[in-house]
Structure 1
Amino acid sequence: MPVDITFQNASHAIVEYVPGMRRKRKAGLLVWRDWDLEFATLFTPETVYRWQRPAREGGRWEERTAGLGRGEPAHVPNPLKVVPLVELPNRSRLHGNPRSEIATVLPLQDAVNTLWAHLMTASDGLALPARAVLGMDRPVREIVDPESGEVVGEEDLPLDRFRSDRLLWLEKEGASIAEFSAADLDNYLRVIDKAVQHIAAQTRTPPSYLAGQLVNVSPDGVAASEAGLVAKVTERQRHFGAALREIMRLEALANGEIGRAGGLLLGSVVWRDPQFRSDSQYSDALVKLKSLGLPDEAIWERIPGVTPEEIERYKGMRTDAAGAILGGNVAALFGPKPDQPEDPPADTLPEAA
């Protein structure tokens, strides 16, 4: 039976450790909701407990037997003899709960959002020059009685008409038009840029990732700007490696491969290089490693994207090439050759003078 490895949300799963032993899991709880039911599964090294309850009423937990098969109990022995939930800790600490990476930059992000809202509000009324008519009455129109034809009053004309027509008559003597210049909104942008730079510095994120401005920058400069991010990723790899190794060990135990499980317990996780390098940079580095005497297998493992299966295929290709050389068929190493004409019969050869 195949083994499934799934990831659970941290709000739906929790792991309890043996006091004083951060590596040994004592129990694990998994909860989830499916339509109108809530389910819970408690894992211990000896037993797996399963419950359910109505989601809306929030009633008492009952043993979950539905859908498990005929005669199967709700609580079953744990065949692995170990808790099958593994925590992937992020920024774990010796005391207290883990702290989010964005906890320190949330105030700055709120400030950026507030400034951006102010910028949008100001741009609505202050981004364009404003004009005002001075020394003139508000335009009105007469209200005429349809039956008598007499003027019975006046009403103000809506100013939207003048905005759309872009036309205005100034008939009153002394009337003039005043203009108010547009406001400079760059002050908002400068403050936002500074806040984004602080966010990049606190989170060790390259500024070019957030600002999107990268002009005439040398490769060394790009590598220097990404050094903090690469160091942070390398640190995360160190913490996640032990948890991923434990996950694969549980997969081996579930498949009955005791030997592989023991090897994984003492093994290590090999991560891909977190720093981006071009193909020419990788090739240059591999050539230098080859000049130091490293075997081909060690160099092949450092090629990005190369799998262990491909490395085995490379070994087979190298063995075939060596066999062709020892067998005298060197031409086979360079591909097929065109057919050669057959030798003519002996009786058609010219006689020697």
Structure 2
Amino acid sequence: MPLPVEDGPNTDDARRAVTILNRLADELRLRETATRRRLDYYRGVHKLCYASPEFRDYFADRFTGFSDNWCGPVAAAPAERMNVLGIRLDSDTKPDEGLSRAWRAADCERGSSEAFVVTLAAARSYGLVWGNPRDDQTPRVTWERPDQAIVAYDSDTGERAAALKLWADDTTEYATLYTASDVWKFQRSRYARNGYSVSGLIAPAESLVRSAGPEGWQMRHPPSDDTWPISNPMGEVPMVELRNQTLLDDNPISDIDGVIAMQDAINLTWAYLMNSLDFASLPQRVVMGADVPKIPILDSNGVKVGDRPIELDTLIKERILWLTGDAKIGNWPAADLGAYSNVIERAIEHLAAQTRTPPHYLIGKVANLSAEALTAAETGLVSKTGERIVYVNSGIRDIYSLMANAMNDDAKAEAARSGTVMWGDVQFRALAQKVDALMKLKGMGFPLEWIAEQYGLEPPEVARVMRMREAELEADPMAIMLNGKPTLPEVPAAADPGEDPFAVAPEPVG
């Protein structure tokens, strides 16, 4: 069993580490509710809001699990255009090959794509870099959820001071605290000693501060670790935060925070529409000029002792409208369901305008639009995507720097901090438009390699295209006529038939 912190080595340092852990865990707990709500809305897991208690009482069970998810495309639209191609260091004209290879080997193409979606939906995500003992030139990069990771910053310099990763299984919570000098690993039982169980990932603050017992943090010392704590060979906090837009504070804004309220209204309108489909668009049963039916009341022997009227709720659920007295109905037309669909379409148009999402992404109606019209319709999304790239650009640079650090290349790590991250083209154009524009740029004198980058090829493909181009030029007769035939070594005049003319003559003996 792991030792309690108070019984382990480095007791004073461990207590300070637990203090930092508790503070970060408490902050993470405060963020957890908003983070999970945002991610649930992105997935389409919505809690239906009701306009009245009566509607909720009658139809809550019917619409359980229903959602018309618009939060997903709003967050995914810019994220799908954020594609990291590599990083150029200092004045290099090409992306660094070593870092590009390490990026692909660590599956960062997929991981960063998912992290960008989480950053836009939940306001932040994290990247964690660590060395690979099996290959020091291929560091490990993992992308962390904002409800399981957090970074603390120095209030004076703004630099990363510490980072925490929390996760749990069925019985145990695990915590890893990263500082510039050490890596502290802790664990504790999810079930408290005083009888209550911790149901969430993060326990209440009062149970975090204890250092001993089942509810307190204990040192976690896996067999693969030589010491506890582990010395941090990187010399800096290896976790980077990718945060969305802020208002010069520490509260990044989610791209779907403003969508959630309208999403709830759309779902409620759909519920009313489907309820009307069931109740108001089909013929109804109507009883006129009769008393409300009654149910007999029986005693324990089965003898009738009275009557009670049928509850109104029962009549409504059975689709029966019972009119007493001399009431009459002259006409019962079907409900106009178009009014509901008009409200839904108008709400979606508001979402498109507020979030700068092209209308054809949401409504799905494209009728004979030219390429220029589609490009103009996506102008807002292109601008929004460019802003989001600016927000995460420094974080991507820091991740590249940490990768170089883990590869034991200090010079490259320093250069990456001011390097230029290369991103794919965020604007989707018709192929004919794009090629025409690139041909004009080529005619102006732009080099072919730059043209290939602007076309959208990834760095390995650009290099392959350039090698293929060079091979074509070497075999092109016109190129030979213009540039001359390649110079070949002359055959020695004294070569005998069948003798290798380029063989080196043996030195005379003696």
TM-score by length of 1: 0.75
CA distance in 2, matches of 1:7, 1:115: 38
- 1:25 is matched with 160
One of 467, 470, 489 as aligned partner of 1:316: 467
For 1:111, the aligned partner's letter is A
- 1:117 is matched with 271
One of 105, 118, 129 as aligned partner of 2:259: 105
> What RMSD in Å do the two structures reach over aligned CA positions?
2.7
- 2:455 is matched with 303
Could you list the per-position Cα deviations for residues 120-157 of structure 1 after superposition, in whole angstroms to 9, with x for gaps in the alignment? 1111111124465768999xxxxxxxxxxxxxxxxxxx
Task: Describe the SS at the equivalent of 2:257.
Answer: coil
- Most deviating of 79-88 and 204-213: 204-213
- 2:175 is matched with 40
Provide the identity percentage. 39
Could you list the per-position Cα deviations for residues 32-63 of structure 1 after superposition, in whole angstroms to 9, with x for gaps in the alignment? 11331111111111111111111223611011
CA distance in 1, matches of 2:418, 2:291: 90
- 2:100 is matched with none
Distance verdict in 2 for CA 1:75–1:329, change over 3 Å: same
Matched, 1:292 2:480: no
8 Å CA contact retained: 1:115, 1:192: yes
Could you list the per-position Cα deviations for residues 179-236 of structure 1 after superposition, in whole angstroms to 9, with x for gaps in the alignment? 5211111111112211111111111111221111111222222222211111111101
CA distance in 1, matches of 2:223, 2:247: 41
8 Å CA contact retained: 1:41, 1:49: yes
Q: CA deviation at 1:307?
A: 2.3
State the structure with more CA Rg.
1
- 2:220 is matched with 64
- Most deviating of 108-117 and 315-324: 315-324
Distance verdict in 2 for CA 1:181–1:129, change over 3 Å: farther
Matches within 5 A, 1:228-243: 228-243=380-395
- Most deviating of 103-112 and 79-88: 103-112
CA distance in 1, matches of 2:286, 2:417: 80
- 2:63 is matched with none
CA distance in 1, matches of 2:375, 2:281: 40
Stretches of structure 1 that go unaligned for 5 or more consecutive residues are 139-162, 164-175, 331-353
- Most deviating of 191-200 and 282-291: 191-200
Distance verdict in 2 for CA 1:88–1:123, change over 3 Å: same
Q: Structure with the greater relative contact order (CA < 8 A, sep ≥ 6): 1 or 2?
A: 2
- 2:354 is matched with 202
Matches within 5 A, 1:128-207: 128-130=282-284, 132=286, 179-207=331-359
8 Å CA contact retained: 2:375, 2:429: no
Could you list the per-position Cα deviations for residues 216-274 of structure 1 after superposition, in whole angstroms to 9, with x for gaps in the alignment? 22222222221111111110111111111110111111011233323322211111111
8 Å CA contact retained: 2:184, 2:230: yes
CA distance in 1, matches of 2:290, 2:331: 15
CA distance in 1, matches of 2:285, 2:175: 68
CA distance in 2, matches of 1:284, 1:41: 53
Task: Describe the SS at the equivalent of 2:168.
Answer: strand
8 Å CA contact retained: 1:131, 1:180: no
For 1:74, the aligned partner's letter is W
Matched, 1:13 2:165: no
CA distance in 1, matches of 2:191, 2:355: 41
Distance verdict in 2 for CA 1:327–1:260, change over 3 Å: farther
For 2:425, the aligned partner's letter is D
TM-score by length of 2: 0.53
Q: CA deviation at 1:75?
A: 0.5
CA distance in 2, matches of 1:117, 1:321: 64
- 1:49 is matched with 184
8 Å CA contact retained: 2:473, 2:479: no
CA distance in 2, matches of 1:136, 1:27: 77
- 1:262 is matched with 414
Q: CA deviation at 1:117?
A: 0.9
Q: CA deviation at 1:81?
A: 0.3
8 Å CA contact retained: 1:27, 1:44: yes
Q: CA deviation at 1:310?
A: 2.4
Distance verdict in 2 for CA 1:209–1:180, change over 3 Å: same
Distance verdict in 2 for CA 1:132–1:59, change over 3 Å: closer
For 1:313, the aligned partner's letter is R
CA distance in 2, matches of 1:54, 1:197: 50
8 Å CA contact retained: 1:25, 1:83: yes
Task: Describe the SS at the equivalent of 2:258.
Answer: coil
Could you list the per-position Cα deviations for residues 1-38 of structure 1 after superposition, in whole angstroms to 9, with x for gaps in the alignment? 3421111110111111111333x111111111133111
8 Å CA contact retained: 1:131, 1:178: no
For 2:472, the aligned partner's letter is A
Task: Describe the SS at the equivalent of 2:141.
Answer: coil
For 2:151, the aligned partner's letter is V
For 1:20, the aligned partner's letter is D
Task: Describe the SS at the equivalent of 1:28.
Answer: strand
Could you list the per-position Cα deviations for residues 75-129 of structure 1 after superposition, in whole angstroms to 9, with x for gaps in the alignment? 0211000100000011233124112222223222211111111111111111124
For 1:260, the aligned partner's letter is K
- 1:80 is matched with 234
For 1:314, the aligned partner's letter is V
Stretches of structure 2 that go unaligned for 5 or more consecutive residues are 1-134, 193-213, 293-318, 320-327, 482-510
